[in-house]
Amino acid sequence: MRRNHRWGVVLVVLLLLVTSAVLPAQVRAAAPSSFSSVLVVYDSLGMGMKQEGNVEALKRLLAAFHVQVTAESLDSYTAGSLSQYSKLIEVRNRSDFLDDNNDFLKDKQSYTGDFLYIGEKPGEKLVQSLGLQLQSEQKVADLQIGTFAQRSISVPYLYDSKQPGVKKYGELKVQAADLSYPYGIRKGANAYVPFMEKDTLSELALSYVLKDWLQENQEGHYFLVFKEIYPFSDLGLLEKMSDELFEAGIPFMVSVHPVYSNTDYPAMKRYINTLKYIQSRNGTILVEAPVVASTIQDLDRSLYQQTEHFIDALAQEGVVPLGMGAQMYWSYDEHYVSEGMAFFDSVILFPDTRQIYKAKRNRSTAFASSLYSLDSAFFQRYLTDDRHIASLPMDTAVTFDFVQKESELEGLIEGLKKSWIAFEDYKSEAHHVKTKINELGSDRGSLVLNGVSLGIQASHVETSSKYVYKQQGKKSFETWFTVQNQIFIVIIFITLFVFGGFLIIGYRMYKRKFYK
């Protein structure tokens, strides 16, 4: 009996070891237990209202602080769920919402963890803990935080606090009077902001509150990222842009769309050679998530194998991608996370343009490095002093779409040269990518492939256009038919020659007869 028991223990241990070895390394690295968790509860998504999209924007901000998010509506909330979290964010988008005696309200009454409230009519418990004092309703004010400002916005409520130990964020300056009130208020574990709207300065202002509320100590940096790069893009223009940025001393990143088949074609070779050249000009390569078609539910393709194949194709030529660029909803889809993002521990989450889920869930996957994506036009709208641009609370990717014309490139490069934004080198931080046969990453500014530090020198490489796209199969009687064709050609030429001779003889005979 004891021998059988010992053998049983040994088999169980071996089974666990084999299972852990089979799992992709990056999936284990991004285990939920290694990141803090936040529960987001909202009354509505604000569809058709000015609050529309603010829940998605909040989730993208939280991802930039390496937080795993569980988002639930009040209708879908399960009683007792709140007890599993130490951090809670409540978003109220509806002013006409009635606080019925629902499960969430019951659980919140006994909740003692960290609490952030976004919206109108904060509860009495929060009002007392922060010392909130309602100052005014429905005013037009200017919002300013850091070196950014937005003019003439409608503010539903203006709150202030005189309580000691309260920290205030931003400034809401009422236009009709010389009065100012804070945008956000925090004391200890509790915080409050009256509103947050997507693609406005309030979205960025909330990040200042979130950083302190989440107790995030890491300093934010700016990174320059170019998107919309395909194998059929103007690769010559892309190389020229790399040269210009390299000479200007501006580190940059390119998020490139993958190729899943025909990777031995000359077009793919030219694509990889260009990426290798970009890498030599202090550029960093990211793999962009593929465009999801509306028929994704009907497709039976292995996204995991396709993504792995593309990464390995790059690695074979010495190109080292350091992360993935994807729309934010990818991190809330079980299929996309396990099949497409499993190789990476670093991502850039772009705003959602069109959500096409395959295995949707309400819980996100957190990553060791997750840049907050900010469109370059944002600075033009809200920046007040372009000579003093302080770092944001989180690592931020300033994104540009790759230009189509050389004239556009000249204007873009000139603007970047004049900009006072200090862009950082993505390679200076640690990033890891792993497939079954390759381990890629960065270490203190150097690219590493399978444990070997790579040199980044590269030159323009021309790809031969002499390529057989379709191999010719073996042909039967090919020689016989070739000889036969040549014999027929000779016979035809002889026939034409004889026929031509008869025409000439006939013409002369007819001409003599006419003269007679």
The share of the chain scoring above pLDDT 70, in percent, equals 85
Examine the pLDDT at 169 and tell me if it is beyond 90. yes
Token pair in block for residue 17 = 């070891």
Q: Which of 30-34, 72-76, 240-244, 480-484 has the highest mean pLDDT?
A: 240-244
Beta bridge pairs of residue 439? 434
Q: What is the pLDDT confidence band of residue 98, given thresholds at 50, 70 and 90?
A: low
Q: What is the chain's alpha carbon radius of gyration, rounded to the nearest angstrom?
A: 33
CA-CA distance, 255 to 324, in Å (whole number)?
A: 8
b/e per residue, 346-359, with b = 16+ CB within 10 A? bbbbbbbeeebbee
The model carries a pTM of 0.82
Q: CB neighbours of 304 closer than 8 A, spacing ≥ 6?
A: 338, 339, 340, 342
Structure confidence by residue, pLDDT tens digits, 373-393: 999 888 889 988 777 788 899
**For the chain, what are the domain ranges?**
27-213, 222-453
Structure confidence by residue, pLDDT tens digits, 412-461: 999 999 988 999 999 999 999 999 999 999 988 899 999 999 866 544 45
CA-CA distance, 118 to 108, in Å (whole number)?
A: 15
Structure confidence by residue, pLDDT tens digits, 321-342: 999 999 999 999 999 999 999 9
Q: What is the pLDDT confidence band of residue 473, given thresholds at 50, 70 and 90?
A: low
Report the run of H or E that residue 149 belongs to, with start and end: strand 148-161
Per-chain mean pLDDT for the chain: 85
CATH of domain 222-453: 3.20.20
Q: 27-213 has which fold?
A: Rossmann fold (3.40.50)
Report the pLDDT value the prediction gives residue 477, as an integer from 0 to 100.
Answer: 59
CB 169 within 8 A of CB 146: no
Least confident of 24-38, 72-86, 273-287, 418-432: 24-38
Burial of 513 (C-beta count, 10 Å sphere; 0-12/13-18/19+): exposed
Q: CB neighbours of 178 closer than 8 A, spacing ≥ 6?
A: none
Q: CB neighbours of 119 closer than 8 A, spacing ≥ 6?
A: 90, 91, 92, 93, 194, 195
